[in-house]
Structure 1
Amino acid sequence: MAEYKLDAEIRTDFGKGAARRLRRESKVPAVIYGHGAEPQHVAIDSHALMMALKIPNVLIRLTVDGKSQLVLPKDVQREYIRQFLVHVDLLAVKRGEKVTVEVPIVVEGDLAPGGNLLEHTLNALPVEAEATHLPENVTVNVEGAEAGHSVLAKDVKLPSGVSLAVEEDVTVLQVVAAQAEEPTEAEETEAEGAEAAAEAGEETAAEGEESSEA
């Protein structure tokens, strides 16, 4: 797993006002924590950090005041509408250290014909792996899967050195049978008209029988 190199600077101002000033300077407030050390408050170039975060569970070689350390993004806060970075929590890690992360699930293959739907119970699979050898994703093949088919966590093939961090019988994906389409408004109106006509015909026939009997 490649390292993504970034620089950071120590920050001493806190609060919403300080955060807004950093964002005006195209920087993002972040906190580094882990290994029992005091949290370290830093600021990172927003564009560089955003590019790094495009890689799932990216391993970042962060240099602060001339000293470098490995960190993993653990909590990324974004602005709701424009999605710019607001704040990032970074976990300090070491080579050989095991960490738990959520790995994106990539689906391959086509379902069996019939219009059935693939339901994602999980979009990412919790796994435990060595901090410097995290998989970018895991692949699930659903080629030919029919309605009722499920993929459990234990069915997902994991890379060497990676283990599940969730119960084995947790459902990851399942194939759901296609549901009959609800009638459109026009179809409902047509059906109601046909039903009304049929009822009117029955009433006319009944009245005709009464007249003939009289």
Structure 2
Amino acid sequence: MTDRKVAIVTAASAGIGKAIAQELAADHELVVMSRSEAISDVARELGACAVRGDVRSKDDLERLVTTALDRYGRIDAVAINTGHPPKGKLLDLTDDDWRTGYDLVLSSVMSLVKLVTPVFVRQGAGSVVAVASYAARTPEPTMPVSSVFRSALQAWIKLYATEYGPSGVRANTILPGYIATHPQDPARVATIPARRYGHPAEIGRLAAFLLSDGAGFVSGQAILADGGMVTAI
């Protein structure tokens, strides 16, 4: 049991997920999850508890939540990051591609949120951040599966925030643009007013703020962090 707040972070072995965990480590006990063996190294670095598992597995998600509760007795914040779904031309994508995208991007979030909500309601407080993509706001032809299901994720989080707000629960979505976890494409950079890709740490800091008491009046929002790339209002 602990008096410190407790956070869960998924897909935390690298990139945005790891950056979120790094930001939260200063003032949270952490339970981090990933399919990668590297999650053990991240846990040692941050003094966190590691769970090796797949966000698409309900059994693994149950084990994640049970581990947090057994070890710390509470869950205050959940940052849900996932990998990338299949890419391809719209009509070339198979039914299996779409099912994979649903399981990874949408169903995984719904399943984990369902598991932690009774804890939040019992505590009278809790916060969720789901990491989606700028393609949820403006569909990206090169990423049809991501565009469709991350848009649905944004809507689901909004509905969840509305329904559970009276119980002291908040939920928000982050819509990152291009992040420097891969080499920068000069042609793509030229379309970004900031003239660069974002850094994982910038998304990590945004997630940490949204999960904090400082964002206590922010809920149901989908926040772009894209260097000004998306022109939609």
Q: TM-score range by the shorter chain?
A: under 0.3
Relative to its length, the structure with more strand (as a share) is: 1
Query: If you compute each CA radius of gyration, which structure gives the higher value, 1 or 2?
Result: 1
Instruction: Report the TM-score, using the length of structure 2 for normalisation.
Output: 0.22
> Bigger relative contact order, structure 1 or 2, given CA contacts below 8 A and separation 6+?
2
Relative to its length, the structure with more helix (as a share) is: 2
